[in-house]
Chains A and B, each alone.
Chain A
Amino acid sequence: MKKLISNAAIIGLPLAALIMSGCGPSVKTYDSNCNDAANGAIVATKVAGDLSDMNAMAAAWDGAQCTSVMLYPQKTVGTNDQAVNEMMAGAKGVKASVKALYNDSKVSLMVYWNDNDESFQGMTSDKYSDGFAVQFAQNSSDASKLPYIGMGSDKRPVIIYLQKTTKATFEPNGKGDHAMQRADQSVEKFNQSTVDGVQTDELKKFHESVTALGDKDYQKAFIAEGFRSTTEIREAKTSFDASMTHAGEKYMAVLTRDIKDSYLDLSSGEFPVALAVWDGKKANRDGQKWLSGWVAVELGKKDGKLVQSITEVPKGDVVAGKALAVENCAACHLFDDQVSAAPGMAPNLSEIGGQATSAYIRESMVNPSAVVVPGYNRNAHPNFAWYELAGNKRVSTMPAYDWLAPEQQDNLIAYFKTLK
């Protein structure tokens, strides 16, 4: 895919146009009537062939079953950008479909969803790219203690692969090689200069070599313990490839990675992923995106334990749960029709049912400091500290609700799971 994007960038064509004109006879679209991930897992189909050069048009996808996953707008932490706040106000969930393939060494996921038009960041200050990301939990052996959905949490790291639609407008080589940067206009001037009366094209060549270095796909791998801590993985040790193809008012995005590398071992054949998509037209970037909850992926049919643990909802009384929530939570949290809390006072729970597992909600009630929503910047709201710092440890300012009876907890969880 790297090559495709480079070419597209040089001649300034949108990626899809290039694919349609140059790289394949036709553009396929895929079925969106899929099994619902709320009831099951994304079951990957084993293939014998090579997965190292996958894209959305590959024939192998036809044989893979699809699963639909709901993605909900991220509202937990607010932003201070007026434009995105206005554009995302009232945003509803987005349905994405997922197919998965694997062989002995690699796993490949394709995500497709509706998006009418392509957006590119470009050379301006207030435009944003579309994008998609797949998040893996580094350790999912205990399904009741999965990382926080918003890019992990302390001691529960996640690995994230991000692909954004972009033209090659970034730094010359993406490696921080500032020595190779130069001003276009001065190269132009130098270019006309002569040495001993002979025209020299030395700087022209330099210009070309730097431009070639600049052809870089916006494709990044991150390790994070919460979106405050996101750090790019640059070493070649983690091998992955991602692409986004736009056709028929849909994006088809593919991520392929090794089943096992030094960051992530998926060889148990059963692991959770979370998906995110960004709509550049709505000024999406960072946490302003649509985000799914954890969804189980099974390489072949497994025993379904992980699926059960992720999709489980306690049989509680939703009405009693709401009454409890209004009584105990609404003073600080915004959710549902509850508006008494000041914005920014505590995480917004409006979409929690679509993004958090029951186990996570229970853990957060009983032991609020287990996961402190990480991206919150205390300087922005000095009057509403979500946490205190004990050394490097973040201690939540929310009191523990461990005194609630188990059935009360179940009622609350059953209610929160309806919020989406």
Chain B
Amino acid sequence: MSKRQLAMVMDLNKCIGCQTCTVACKTQWTNRNGRDYMYWNNVETYPGHGYPKNWQESGGGFDAAGDLQPGKIPNIESDYGVPWEYNYDEMADGKILTPHQEPTWGPNWDEDVGAGNFPNDNYFFYIPRICNHCTNPGCLSACPRDAIFKREQDGVVLVDLDRCQGYRYCIAGCPYKKIYFNPKLSKSEKCILCFPRVERGLPPACSQQCVGRIRFVGFLDDKESQVHKLVNEYKVAIGLRPDYGTTPNIYYVPPVFSPNKFDENGAPIVESSRIPDAELEKLFGKEAYHQAKKTILAEHKKRKETGESELMDLLIAFQHQDMFRLDTNYYHDVAKAEGKKALAPVDNRYSKGKFTKFTTHYKVGH
């Protein structure tokens, strides 16, 4: 366990599935150099196959005894999906628009499909997913080369690209399938929680750009932070699939405000909820989910009746800046204590191997 833990809370009641976070991440980190197919941040429709396809059935994580479970390594074409392109240029010659290859799968293939029968009880919701920066990461446990590490300063899980040899056991070991193989570099890469931004006091790109204002970022041990209040005080934010045993540090406020179902005459069934509890129990754990639901509904009611509720104010997030409590001074102090220049990355193992003798800004030398 790291000294401190940076965490994110996503309020699923507010996510509109606009993929702005996905694009923010892609343009910042994954539009080049073999990362082109990766989505470190994706937004998937639940229920659905997810991204990569059927990640929840792909193994990894730990069993109740704490043993790492075997897992699968998804295929780029059939499980992640590769982008296809159209013949725009030929359209001037009167050709019809056709993709350059038959699309068979993509990262958001089953968007808005959901489950249930329209219009009576169909339902779906969006769930944005990034690396969970777990306290007990499956990827780290699977690596035979100590190439994955959890930063002492803030618990961000990173791949030491100098040590990584591209064996890909980490992909099998991560139950969320949020670590990817870069075939061009022959190394594994993953969400870095935008640590170069965070160290400078900026929220991760996905959070900064979030249109629905669903993402809170801060340190879990910071009593003033929004994430601390949501996760530790109100306990309305829960890690995804806690049964995987990795103790994720990206938390979700479960979608408890879903519309009423309709009866056979098309009239709303009062107090009914379209999203079945069973689905959310599976995602967040039975007890934790019901506890969170109870608290949110109670605070919602309180706010309606009295006009006051700290929790509701928090979740509304009147000012976007109120969703983040980052700590540039903290990183400066860590850098200072280690004799490094402030604003240089606090942990340079990401660009510098354990046995590397010297490093410059871009280049690693030996």
* CB pair B59 A82 closer than 8 Å: yes
Q: Which of B108-149 contact A (CB under 8 A)?
A: 136, 140-146
- Distance in angstroms from A85 CB to nearest chain B CB is 6
**Nearest-neighbor residue (CB-CB) of A181 within chain B:** B33
Contacts of A208 in B (CB 8 A): none
The residue in A80, A85, A285 that gathers the most chain B C-beta atoms within 10 A of its C-beta is A80
Which of the candidate stretches A30-38, A90-98, A257-265, A379-387 sits at the interface with the other chain?
Answer: A379-387
A145: Cβ under 8 A from any B Cβ: no
Cα-based distance from A379 to B180 in the complex (angstroms): 21
**8 Å CB contact of A125 from B71, B73, B144:** B73
* CB pair A286 B167 closer than 8 Å: yes
Q: Which of B165-199 contact A (CB under 8 A)?
A: 165-169, 171-173, 180-181, 183-186
- Distance in angstroms from A361 CB to nearest chain B CB is 23
* CB pair A124 B183 closer than 8 Å: yes
- Distance in angstroms from A365 CB to nearest chain B CB is 25
**8 Å CB contact of B73 from A83, A184, A229, A380:** A83
Cα-based distance from A123 to B186 in the complex (angstroms): 9
* CB pair B366 A235 closer than 8 Å: yes
Number of A-B pairs whose CB atoms are under 8 Å?
Answer: 137
Cα-based distance from A231 to B160 in the complex (angstroms): 12
**Nearest-neighbor residue (CB-CB) of B74 within chain A:** A125
The residue in B145, B171, B353 that gathers the most chain A C-beta atoms within 10 A of its C-beta is B145
- Taking residues whose C-beta sits less than 8 angstroms from the other chain, chain A's interface range is 35 or more
Cα-based distance from A234 to B184 in the complex (angstroms): 20
Contacts of B168 in A (CB 8 A): 81, 125-126, 285
* CB pair B68 A169 closer than 8 Å: no
Contacts of B141 in A (CB 8 A): 377, 379-380
A240: Cβ under 8 A from any B Cβ: no
- Distance in angstroms from A176 CB to nearest chain B CB is 4
* CB pair B72 A83 closer than 8 Å: yes
Q: Which of A63-117 contact B (CB under 8 A)?
A: 77, 79-83, 85
Known: A80-B142, A81-B169, A82-B172. A178 touches B73 (CB 8 A): no
Contacts of A375 in B (CB 8 A): 144-145
Known: A176-B162, A375-B144, A383-B65. A125 touches B171 (CB 8 A): yes
* CB pair A121 B183 closer than 8 Å: yes
Known: A177-B362, A183-B32. A81 touches B71 (CB 8 A): yes
**Nearest-neighbor residue (CB-CB) of A286 within chain B:** B167
A122: Cβ under 8 A from any B Cβ: yes
* CB pair A126 B74 closer than 8 Å: yes
- Distance in angstroms from B134 CB to nearest chain A CB is 11
* CB pair A125 B80 closer than 8 Å: yes
Known: A231-B355, A377-B141. A122 touches B183 (CB 8 A): yes
* CB pair B70 A80 closer than 8 Å: yes
Q: Which of A297-313 contact B (CB under 8 A)?
A: none
Q: A218-231: contact bitstring with B at CB < 8 Å (1 yes, 0 no)?
A: 10000000011111
Contacts of B354 in A (CB 8 A): 231
* CB pair A80 B75 closer than 8 Å: no
Q: Which of B326-366 contact A (CB under 8 A)?
A: 351, 353-355, 362-364, 366
Known: A80-B60, A80-B142, A344-B67. A170 touches B180 (CB 8 A): no
* CB pair B142 A126 closer than 8 Å: no
- Distance in angstroms from B60 CB to nearest chain A CB is 7
B: number of interface residues (CB 8 Å): 54
Cα-based distance from A186 to B183 in the complex (angstroms): 19
* CB pair B181 A125 closer than 8 Å: yes
Contacts of B74 in A (CB 8 A): 125-126
Cα-based distance from A184 to B91 in the complex (angstroms): 24
* CB pair B172 A383 closer than 8 Å: no
Known: A83-B73, A176-B162. A123 touches B183 (CB 8 A): yes
The residue in B36, B59, B70, B181 that gathers the most chain A C-beta atoms within 10 A of its C-beta is B70
B309: Cβ under 8 A from any A Cβ: no
A336: Cβ under 8 A from any B Cβ: no
- Distance in angstroms from B234 CB to nearest chain A CB is 31
- Distance in angstroms from B173 CB to nearest chain A CB is 5
Contacts of A380 in B (CB 8 A): 67-68, 141-142, 173
- Distance in angstroms from A141 CB to nearest chain B CB is 25
Q: A169-201: contact bitstring with B at CB < 8 Å (1 yes, 0 no)?
A: 111000111110111101000000000000000
B54: Cβ under 8 A from any A Cβ: no
**8 Å CB contact of A124 from B59, B77, B185:** B77
Contacts of B144 in A (CB 8 A): 77, 227-228, 286-287, 375, 377
* CB pair A121 B353 closer than 8 Å: no
* CB pair A179 B362 closer than 8 Å: yes
Contacts of A186 in B (CB 8 A): 32
Cα-based distance from A79 to B143 in the complex (angstroms): 10
The residue in A82, A175, A229, A235 that gathers the most chain B C-beta atoms within 10 A of its C-beta is A82
Contacts of B77 in A (CB 8 A): 124
**Nearest-neighbor residue (CB-CB) of B38 within chain A:** A125
Q: Which of B40-98 contact A (CB under 8 A)?
A: 59-60, 65-77, 80
* CB pair B173 A80 closer than 8 Å: yes
B2: Cβ under 8 A from any A Cβ: no
**Nearest-neighbor residue (CB-CB) of B80 within chain A:** A125
**Nearest-neighbor residue (CB-CB) of B187 within chain A:** A171
**8 Å CB contact of B169 from A79, A121, A344, A383:** A79
- Distance in angstroms from A183 CB to nearest chain B CB is 4
* CB pair A227 B145 closer than 8 Å: yes
B321: Cβ under 8 A from any A Cβ: no
Cα-based distance from A230 to B165 in the complex (angstroms): 10
**8 Å CB contact of B146 from A79, A177, A228, A383:** A228
Cα-based distance from A171 to B33 in the complex (angstroms): 8
B258: Cβ under 8 A from any A Cβ: no
B31: Cβ under 8 A from any A Cβ: yes
* CB pair B66 A382 closer than 8 Å: yes
* CB pair A182 B32 closer than 8 Å: yes
**8 Å CB contact of B140 from A83, A379, A383:** A379
* CB pair B169 A175 closer than 8 Å: no
Q: A380-415: contact bitstring with B at CB < 8 Å (1 yes, 0 no)?
A: 111100000000000000000000000000000000
* CB pair B73 A121 closer than 8 Å: no
**8 Å CB contact of B363 from A177, A286, A379:** A177
Cα-based distance from A218 to B185 in the complex (angstroms): 11
* CB pair A80 B32 closer than 8 Å: no
Cα-based distance from A285 to B65 in the complex (angstroms): 28
Contacts of B165 in A (CB 8 A): 230, 285-286
- Provide a sorted-by-A list of 10 A–B residue pairs whose CB atoms are within 8 angstroms: A77-B144, A81-B72, A82-B59, A83-B72, A123-B34, A125-B168, A126-B168, A176-B362, A377-B142, A380-B68
Top 7 closest A-B pairs, CB basis?
A: A183-B32, A379-B141, A176-B364, A380-B68, A234-B366, A286-B167, A375-B144
Known: A169-B34, A183-B33. 7 other contacts (CB 8 A): A79-B172, A81-B72, A125-B171, A169-B183, A176-B161, A377-B141, A380-B68
Binding site for A on B (CB under 8 A): 31-34, 36, 59-60, 65-77, 80, 136, 140-146, 161-163, 165-169, 171-173, 180-181, 183-186, 351, 353-355, 362-364, 366
